[in-house]
Amino acid sequence: MAANRTRRLQKEISDILKDSHSGITVTSPSGSTEITDFTHFKGHFRGPPDTPYERGEYDIDIKITPEYPFKPPEMRFITKIWHPNVSSQTGAICLDTLGNAWSPVLTLKSALISLQSLLSSPEPKDPQDAEVASMLLTRPEEFQHVAREWAQKYAGAPVPAPGSGKTGGGGSGGDDEASLQNKKKLEDKERKRAEDRRRREAYHGYNPAMIDRFTSMGFQVEQVVSAFEYIGIDKADGEEYELEEEYIGDVTARLFGEIRAIGAGGNDFMGQMNASATALVSFYDM
């Protein structure tokens, strides 16, 4: 079975290498055309024309399962891309061809062509990345800008010359300046989104204001989150709510116990912490 699979893959890759017009290539993970491991490849294609991804160069990680070709290869984007059907964090792909619609008659080449076509025809109603899908559905112009900027930043797509009209300007100096200002705004938004994602991850789904009431006492975010999770504080889908006094006591006791365990600070520090705990209970009672 393994020998049959290898022979089939050898033929598939040979066919890909012979077809110079498709723009699809498959190499070893290191980029060599001398392939000895037929369980792990790197696919490559160029972003299709008339899309934000135009002329970007996209690499795809390809892993062959033991059940291939009766089950699809495992594929993910190595190159970061802003697309509703691809995770902007992990490169995971939502595509029927790589799931329920897979058939043994399909090949690595047809799968990569389907991925390339996905860049021309995104499906925001069946997303892999909800944030990107929401932007495409509600703010399509902003989506186009961010997708193009990611193509330029991560996929090496060329940056249009000033006045070319590719970035939404009409060719005048004023339009070029407006495009630069718009680009800066989008970059600021992207940074804020990244910061918000990191913040949400750090708080493990808890409302930040609830955690920060304890961090104001001198504890670290991860300490408070750990205490909340240990005690079983409800995350309430990230909504803020008033903690019962019993829970406040449990959290502070847990936090002080951790500090004693690591021998931090001595009696003066513990006195300050106890005073802070009293203030926190008073805050919730207000």
**What does the alpha-carbon distance between residue 72 and residue 60 come to, in Å, rounded to a whole number?**
14
Active site residues: 94
**Nearest of 143, 277, 150, 159 to residue 218 by alpha carbon:** 277
Long-range contacts of 94-101 (CB under 8 A, 24+ apart): 94/123, 94/126, 94/127, 94/128, 97/72, 98/72, 98/73, 98/74, 99/72
Query: What's the CA angle centered on 242, arms 237 and 243, to 5 degrees?
Result: 90
**What does the alpha-carbon distance between residue 36 and residue 227 come to, in Å, rounded to a whole number?**
50
Q: Are 252 and 280 in contact (CB under 8 A)?
A: yes
Q: Any bridge partners for residue 74, and if so which?
A: 63
Q: How far apart are the first and last CA of the chain?
A: 72
The identity of residue 99, as a single letter, is: G
**What does the alpha-carbon distance between residue 193 and residue 89 come to, in Å, rounded to a whole number?**
12
**What does the alpha-carbon distance between residue 92 and residue 22 come to, in Å, rounded to a whole number?**
24
